[in-house]
Amino acid sequence: MSLSKTETLELQCSLRQAVINCSERCQYQSAKWAAELLDALPDDNLGGELTSLAEVFNTQTDPVEMRLEQDELPKYLMAKSLLDCHETRRCAAVFLSSDSSEHTIPLQNNVLNISHGKPSRSVFSKTSQKGLFLASHALLLAGEKQITEELGPILGPSDTGAVINKQLAPLKHFHTADTLFSSMLISSPFHLDFLPHHSNILHTLGSSSQLAFLTHLSTSISRYRPETHVALGNYYSLTSRHSDAIRAFRLVLQLDRNFTAAWTLLGHEYCKVENTHAAISAYRRAVEGDNKDYRAFAGLGVVYESLEKPTLSLHYYRQALALRPDDGELWHMMASCLGSMGRVMQGIEALKRAIACSGDGRGNNQDDELGARCKRIELFFQLANAYAEVQERGEATKYLEICVDEADEVEGSGDVGAPLSTATVSVINRSRLLLARWIAADGDDTRARYLARQVDQGSEFAEEARDLLRSFVVTEEEDDGE
């Protein structure tokens, strides 16, 4: 919905006053957000119709400078709020990079792409002296900060160990989110507030090259912002530099103890190196700071399950599912926990919920669709075995048939670009062999023989499949003898 000229004028006045009021009360982040909204509004030459406190108390007598200051007031307010928030390079970029590098992603130490010495004449002609002073001052502060940071690391020896950072969220919308974040990065490369979310997405997608670029960019802009080290930790985790990942997340928490996402990520790291005490402590700090962090609750469930405390594990899985009731991975984890407790029927219901929430992956990109369909094969196989455990052979056979049909469809699909994982191939061979035995027991030797021949001859189940086929030959010979 487009705004009329009067509505735009009213909104500009309100946002300008909001920036001033928030800044006076030291609410610098709020002032920054209001200033960003103000700068995003269209400029329809409304400056002459606005009367503000800045104009009333303006001591500028030069009419040219006065006009420039009036025209660039939204930019100045945003630059001032960025400086208040200690985002010095982004503050300088508001004025000094508007001509040459507004859409340039910086990769060198000269992150603003500004030549040393005097700025270009076009910058002088389009920017007020007030704006140039603020930008130059911000650039000076950024340079001093960089010199300080290059004196050396601020942490000593830290934890080491192998760990893989796992994300529990489904991949359905991750590629779309990555595209949107990338667009934001191109339009505003100095805006690092969304960096943890973007780096988490890239980690989950396994995009190491994009994550490397993101960490290089953020490090060149602000080396010791917590958001920078979240991205760096995700990159180290993805590239198996696990001790460096732990050090990065610890540095995030040294910079900001209340950065709850970093507590969760650190918990994942400690969980995988089997430092369960540290993992529990990190996850608890995460949920204390954000009781909506389902990943931390799920992490606690995983840790307590590894400690063979299924009651506590189930409690935390339920906490996670209360926040994410449509997460198929969480339902699968709960099903495994229930199965280990001997509560098979409840585990069966959880497996069915996992299948319903997982979907078939259609509509995603090729790799995600293949991953989702392989996951369904595993879930149907587990569901069939669960029914077999409670002596419901009819239901078990039904779901094993579905499992084999899904496997045939995946293997027969001509658009599968990547080979199936070893674990998936093993599940497919086991399901075919098990179904062949069940069907043979029911008297359908023809179908059983077909399924046994479908077992991969190079798999660990090949010998069992050959034994089953030989049993059919012996049975036929005995029948002929009679």
Q: What is the 3-state secondary structure (H, E, C) of the chain?
A: CCCCHHHHHHHHHHHHHHHHHHHHCCCHHHHHHHHHHHHHCCCCCCHHHCCCHHHHCCCCCCHHHHHHHHHCHHHHHHHHHHHHCCCHHHHHHHHHCCCCCCCCCCCCCCCCCCCCCCCCHHHHHHCCHHHHHHHHHHHHHHHHHHHHHCCCCCCCCCCCCCCCCCCCCCCCCHHHHHHHHHHHHHHCCCCCCCHHHHHHHHHHHCCHHHHHHHHHHHHHHCCCCHHHHHHHHHHHHHCCCHHHHHHHHHHHHHHCCCCHHHHHHHHHHHHHCCCHHHHHHHHHHHHHHCCCCHHHHHHHHHHHHHCCCHHHHHHHHHHHHHHCCCCHHHHHHHHHHHHHCCCHHHHHHHHHHHHHHHCCCCCCCHHHHHHHHHHHHHHHHHHHHHHHHCCCHHHHHHHHHHHHHHHHHHHHCCCCCCCCCHHHHHHHHHHHHHHHHHHHHCCCHHHHHHHHHHCCCCCCCHHHHHHHHHHHHHHHHHHHHC
What is the pLDDT at residue 199? Answer: 86
What is the rounded average pLDDT of the residues 136-143?
79
> pTM score, two decimals?
0.66
Mean pLDDT on 53-76: 69
Q: Is the pLDDT of residue 377 over 80?
A: yes
CA neighbor of 306 nearest in space, from 291, 316, 293, 320: 316
* Structural domain spans, the chain: 5-149, 159-290
Q: What is the pLDDT of residue 451?
A: 92
Q: Indicate whether 157 pLDDT > 70.
A: no
Whether 244 has a pLDDT exceeding 90, the answer reads no
pLDDT of residue 121: 53
What does pLDDT average to over the chain? 80
Which band of pLDDT confidence, cut at 50, 70 and 90, is reported for residue 410? confident
**Inter-residue contact 195 to 214 (CB < 8 Å):** yes
- Return the CATH number of 159-290, one of 2.60.40.420, 3.30.420.10, 1.10.357.140, 1.25.40.10: 1.25.40.10
Higher pLDDT, 312 or 65: 312
Q: What is the pLDDT of residues 5-64, one digit of tens each?
A: 888 888 888 888 888 877 766 677 888 888 888 888 876 555 444 445 445 445 456 788
Q: Among the listed ranges 12-26, 80-94, 122-136, which one has the minimum average pLDDT value? A: 122-136
* Percent over 70 (pLDDT), the chain: 78
